Structure 1
Amino acid sequence: MISRRNFISIFLALCLTFYGCLNSALPTYALGGKLPAINQAAPEFSLPTNIGDGEVALSDFRGKWVVLYFYPKDFTSGCTIEARRFQQDLPQYIEKNAQVIGVSADDVDSHAEFCDSEGLKFPLLADTKGTVSKAYGSWMNFISSRHTFIIDPEGTLRETFVKVNPNIHSQEVLARLTELQAA
């Protein structure tokens, strides 16, 4: 007889195995939905931001590389670590003519507090209805999934990251950005 605890462990292992197979068999899908296609125009967007007045649009950054990262919630441990790492590496992104932009379902006020608390110097966009997160296959019910996209200066999606470890992710993105710029 299998114990309830062992049953749950086995069930979770099978689910993760199935998800891994699904994810490798269908790379254009992630837990948040259908991902936009690599080497195609990145979905355009315009969202309110915590920095300055008004909204930020993808088209505002033509001529620059864009690192667009989606994250679940301000002030949570993984999201705070990820934001700190992007901030720590921000001078390297600037040297590479790249703009880091964070997106979550939190509102502008929450983003402003988060930036103040963590000393973040890049914009966080308020996708409170999940519209942009959905366009990027990064929406799960009421929060954004932890996904990152590299968009080139012409607005073409060049890379997608869906299995993100917040501790090392910024360095992974920098390494891939360097490869893309050298190609």
Structure 2
Amino acid sequence: MKLFTLALIAIVMVVVAVALRPRIARADLLKEGQIAPPFTTQMVTGETEAPVSLADFHGKKVILYFYPKDETSGCTKEACAFRDGYARYTNAGLVVLGCSVDSAEAHKDFIRKNGLPFPLLLDPGKKIATAYGAANGIPILGLDRRITYVIDENGKVLKVYPSVDPSTHAIEILNDLGVANAAPPAQAKPAPPTSN
């Protein structure tokens, strides 16, 4: 009985501590037509890390999706849906970037286990998530909200997805952009041999 009472007191103390902890306010979501906040960070592609900034993608449409955590069920579903439709994205000239608070090693494991062909951004200080209104979506755990932005070729927010179904979201974006059936780019035919 004494052990039960101690456990109950410990649980109550944790709940009170969480309830009294200062709340970090969430930033507002960006609106369509706004300039997307610039960012510079590291991206993980396969087993490599490289510097990246939003400016690197000027002239291309970017799908920037925020998700709470690598290797969780909803996040894995969403990432695999982007993976499964990746050829359609690239055929339509779209860039896919995932972003969460996970470490480079966690991203590498997530990419390896699920065969993800697109980069995952590092955001340890939540600067990107904060600028895009995705930070502190799950305040108790300090995880990002599940939000996606489509950024146009000139760096403006084209579309905002504040409510995402991880299993259907990837195709939803393709449908909304009118590129769900994007054909592969035409292959250049080799020049015929010339006779001298």
With the length of structure 2 as denominator, give the TM-score of the two structures: 0.73
CA contact (8 A) 1:101 1:122 kept: yes
Of the candidates 21, 32, 35, which is equivalent to residue 38 of structure 1?
Answer: 32
The answer as to 2:108 corresponding to 1:87 is: no
Matched, 1:50 2:44: yes
Give, in whole Å, the separation in 2 of the partners of 1:143 and 1:93. 27
Q: Which moved more, 1:154-163 or 1:49-58?
A: 49-58
Secondary structure at 1:125's aligned position in 2?
Answer: strand
Q: Distance in 2 between matches of 1:169 and 1:33?
A: 23
Partners of 2:26 and 2:135 in 1: how far apart?
Answer: 5
Q: If each structure's helix is expressed as a fraction of its own residues, which one has the higher value?
A: 1
Equivalent residue for 1:161?
161
Q: What secondary structure, in the 3-state scheme, does the structure 1 residue paired with 2:74 have? A: helix
Unaligned runs of at least 5 residues, structure 2:
1-24, 180-196
Task: Look up the SS of the partner of 2:159 in the other structure.
Answer: strand
Identity level (%): 37
The CA distance in 1 between the partners of 2:93 and 2:156, in whole Å, is 15
1:11-39 deviation per Cα after TM superposition (whole angstroms, max 9, x unaligned): xxxxxxxxxxxxxxxxxxxx943012211
Q: What is the total number of aligned residue pairs between the two structures?
A: 149
* Partner Cα separation in structure 2 for residue 50 and residue 108 of structure 1: 7
Q: 2-side partners of 1:178 and 1:148: how far apart?
A: 17
**Counterpart amino acid of 2:126?**
G
Q: Which of residues 30, 33, 56 is equivalent to 1:60? A: 56
The residue number in structure 1 matching 2:9 is none
Query: Cα offset for 1:54?
Result: 2.6
